[in-house]
Amino acid sequence: MPDRRSARPADRPAGRTVRPARRTVRPARGPGPLLTAAAVVVDGAGRVLVRAPGPAPGRPGLPGGAVAGGETPEAGLARALARELGLHAPVGRLLAVDSRPAAGPRARAGVVHLHLVGPLGPQETAAAAAVLPGWVAPQEAYALLPEPDAARLRAALAALHTGSVAHLAGGVAQPGSPAGLDPARRSALEHAGALDAASHRAARPKALTAASALLTDAAGRVLLVEPAYGRRGRWNLPGGGVDSDLGETPRAAVRREVREELGLDVEPGRLLAVNWSHKPGYPARIRFLYDGGVLDAAALAAIRLPPGELLAWHLAPADSLRDLVKPSLRRQIKASLRARAQGTGPLELHAGRPAGGG
């Protein structure tokens, strides 16, 4: 009966390759990065909540703490806020991620997630106001907070205002970060060709695009709608954002918005104006204003508002717009009315004013 035991190397047939035994590669053992989560809590006045952490009395910091094993950053942050500040508020979207290398051979690297928290209800806002230092303006918070907390907060608020996320390392926004990168540095990196295509797209400033309809009645009064959100008594033109990620065009968007907001299927007429507006620190806004035509009595009677989105509609004479709409929109409406009456346009407007100041 043949011997089935493995032959020793000396017993193997000549000319046969002997392969070395396969070694199992194991990952290096050691602690991973320390994960912490911090809260960016902003009130209606734009103030930020900061607190004095226990380990360093009198030294302000952002609310939050370490994330325990098995927890998500959102769950860990919610737990820390409830335990330390008595806050029970929804942990919102991710604003920034910061990583820092280990300070020494025995130290751990760190990763910090900054999340938007809130909005806070009246009771929670009052409770947070009792926390020292409490609510402070952003510029004051930057001066109070130690580095890199101040840099993290600055980048997180930039991400909040631009609707993006900041990528940081040691509190410094990295090339290609969608938010938090100083505009002058972003421009310098672009002009130097230092950004790859993906980083270039991520770092480019963004713009929000909307489309509105100028609808009037036979007397020339402008149809306005009052949103259920924001400040009461502030009226807008029918319209809304362009779903460009779905391939929607401004012309298609204004027809959809009028149908959703008023229950009317109106074929948009010619483009009357394009308005560009910009507020520092926020994305630019582009509005396409279309001629929606003149609505007769039957069309006005058929208007149906979506519950929870719009509160009312109103026909406003042009000379009453000052008390109803923001100055920029009032200028846009009046410029569009002139373009419609004179058969001119489309106009190029900047914050409602003709481009070039004409």
Q: What is the pLDDT of residue 54?
A: 53
Which long-range CB contacts under 8 A does 334-341 form with residues at least 24 apart? 335/272, 335/273, 336/214, 336/272, 336/273, 336/289, 336/291, 337/214, 337/220, 337/222, 339/272, 339/273, 340/214, 340/272, 340/291
Chain center to CA of 282: 10
What are the pLDDT digits (tens) for 220-235? 999 999 999 877 888 9
Give the DSSP H/E element, type plus range, for residue 34. Answer: strand 34-41
CA 256 – CA 239 distance, rounded (Å): 8
**φ, ψ at 20 (rounded to 5°):** -70, 155
Q: What is the amino acid identity at position 102? A: A
Q: What is the pLDDT of residue 8?
A: 43
Question: Which of 228, 227, 180, 233 is CA-nearest to residue 202?
Answer: 180
User: Which of the residues in the chain have pLDDT under 70?
Assistant: 1-31, 52-58, 132, 357-358
CA 144 – CA 138 distance, rounded (Å): 10
**Is-contact 155 180, C-beta < 8 A?**
yes
Q: What is the pLDDT of residue 53?
A: 55
3-state secondary structure of 59: coil
Per-residue tokens: 56: 């360093």
Strands 34-41 and 110-117: parallel
Q: What is the pLDDT of residue 25?
A: 40
What are the pLDDT digits (tens) for 297-338? 999 999 999 999 999 999 999 999 999 999 999 999 999 999
Say what the pTM is: 0.83
CA 259 – CA 266 distance, rounded (Å): 7
